[in-house]
Amino acid sequence: MRALITGCAGFIGSHLAQSLLVRGDSVVGIDCFNDNYGRRQKLRNLEQLSAWRSFEFVPIDLSRGQLAEITAGRDVIFHLAAEPGVRSSWGRRYGQYVQNNIVATQHLLDAIKETPEVRFVNASSSSIYGEAERVPTSEDAVPSPISPYGQTKLGAEHLCSLYRANYGVDAVSLRYFTVFGPRQRPDMAFHIFCRAAIEDRPVTVFGDGRQTRDFTYVADIVAGTVAAGEADLGDHRSFNIGGGTPASLREVLDLIEQLAGTSIDVEYLDRKDGDVKDTAADTRRARAQLGFEPATTLADGLAAELEWMQELVSSVGVLGLP
């Protein structure tokens, strides 16, 4: 496979790139190092990829740069670059979400509209469902996002559909459900919880902690994403990619305490705007067409993330909470 990965220095993108390189594929990676979190972690992710001769890195802003030359000659484009996060999508940062989630996707699709043989895999989000009427939620549920982030991710999906209908672009959207594991972004809950356990610091949880998520280990996300780049998709162009074992935040905190051999001081506050109560993925479509089978339990995945966090703290010192 000759792959292009946008957001290659990020959490999921770096894992995806590494997985493809290990199996012998060539990868061109794009990242613009936007300011949603610090460059140091992204550069550390990128450093691991740069050792491969079959990896080429191109620093470019998808929403502004010239993309035709970069996309030429690729078999699959994995579009993972985005402005992430539900809570920070309100207010003054909304323009960045529009620019990095919608405008960037449109520019990329426009660059490949004359090459319909290229598979375009768009990383979407369970946030497009909002407060789903039915949990687990299938791809046939009517999207109803309740955050600006979810709205922009749904907008990117709509662009994929538009370019497929008008130009024949071979586009598919994967709706990721709460991804966790090593290299997770610093603003994400598990990252904060693991750091708190190691650094003996308190944490804040918005909501009563009984809200549930379909937590999905990053290696399972990568497996589903690679499969979407290669599978015969037929008419289905959206797939849920979820871990299959929803759990509450209280259960997660208990597991981290057990794994770390410590206790975490937790303060529970009111739920934030845009946060949904429960998510769970109906993955029957992905299992049937992509052969998707999540293989990592929540406990094993948390153990791997905690180990990574311990190594990170040991190498760079006490990190401090955001």
Contacts of 252 (CB under 8 A, 6+ apart): 189, 190, 193, 215, 298, 302
Nearest of 150, 133, 149 to residue 141 by alpha carbon: 133
What phi and psi values does residue 312 have, to the nearest 5 degrees? -65, -45
CB within 8 A of 177, min separation 6: which ones? 126, 213, 214, 215, 216, 240, 241, 242, 243, 279, 280, 281
Distance, CA of 89 to chain centre: 16
Catalytic residue among 97, 149, 163, 217: 149
Tokens standing for 210? 């009984």
* Alpha-carbon span 194 to 319, nearest angstrom: 11
Identify the three-state secondary structure at position 72: coil
Quote the CA–CA distance of 228 and 292 in Å, as a whole number: 9
Tell me the C-alpha distance between 224 and 219, whole Å: 9
- Note if 149 is an active site residue: yes
Task: Determine the Cα–Cα distance for residues 322 and 307; give it in Å rounded to an integer.
Answer: 20
Q: Catalytic positions, please?
A: 149
